[in-house]
Amino acid sequence: MIQEAQSHTQVITALHLLAAKEIDPLAQIYERFFRLCPEARGLMGHSDEPMRGRMLEQTFEILMDADLHGAESYFRWEITNHVTAYGVAPNMYDAYFEAIGQVLAEILGEAWSASLNDAWRMQVANLLADVAQV
Ligand code: HEM
């Protein structure tokens, strides 16, 4: 549990570092996501930049606020919504988080330490556990 809290804090710090760099990762993240998961491009190809921005913003919120994931959470509700309303497949979440992690690592460079990488993996595993519950 302590380990989980630490990994959570590290991921929050990484997102603050990203904000401090004033680099908008949106285009890179979606490009990477669609490359890792071409079916996602099929579902989202028509979506505009503001929509993609809102989705990424919500994702960062979920990563930073533990109350937004887990049982009975906003994230679980949103996954059900995505699966039923948009036809999103659970495995697309793996590719989405992988794309975000890869792009963050590239942007943060040396600040993306081995321990931050472990923290990221732990946070993503937690979120994917929610996906598996839906
Ligand atoms: C943490 C993960 C995710 C979160 C928090 C999230 C959040 C959101 C939100 C808030 C919207 C509505 C945006 C708006 O119109 O205001 C949205 C739309 C959408 N999301 Fe996600 N999303 C996630 C992952 C995914 C994944 C993995 C896919 C797979 C392709 C996906 C596909 C879509 C699609 C197809 C729409 C609707 C697009 C449209 O109306 O044009 N999302 N998402």
Over residues 50-73, the pLDDT tens digits come to 999 999 999 999 999 999 999 999
What pLDDT, on the 0 to 100 scale, is given for residue 1?
67
Q: Rounded mean pLDDT of 69-93? A: 96
80 CA to centre of ligand 1 in angstroms: 11
The per-residue pLDDT for range 93-132, each reduced to its tens digit, is 999 999 999 999 999 999 999 999 999 999 999 999 999 9
The domains of the chain, with CATH numbers, are 2-133 (1.10.490.10)
Contact of 104 with 14, CB cutoff 8 Å:
yes
Residues counted in the chain: 134
- Rounded Cα–Cα distance for residues 4 and 69 (Å): 13
53 CA to centre of ligand 1 in angstroms: 10
**In this structure, what is the dihedral angle of CA atoms 109, 121, 15, 58, given to the nearest 10 degrees?**
140
Instruction: Give the number of other CB atoms < 10 A from CB of residue 22.
Output: 6
What pLDDT, on the 0 to 100 scale, is given for residue 3?
79
CA dihedral (24, 28, 31, 33) positive or negative: negative
**What lines the ligand 1 site, CB under 6 Å?**
40, 43-44, 47, 51, 54-55, 58-59, 62, 78, 82, 86, 88, 92-93, 96
- Rounded Cα–Cα distance for residues 1 and 14 (Å): 20
What pLDDT, on the 0 to 100 scale, is given for residue 4?
82
82 CA to centre of ligand 1 in angstroms: 7
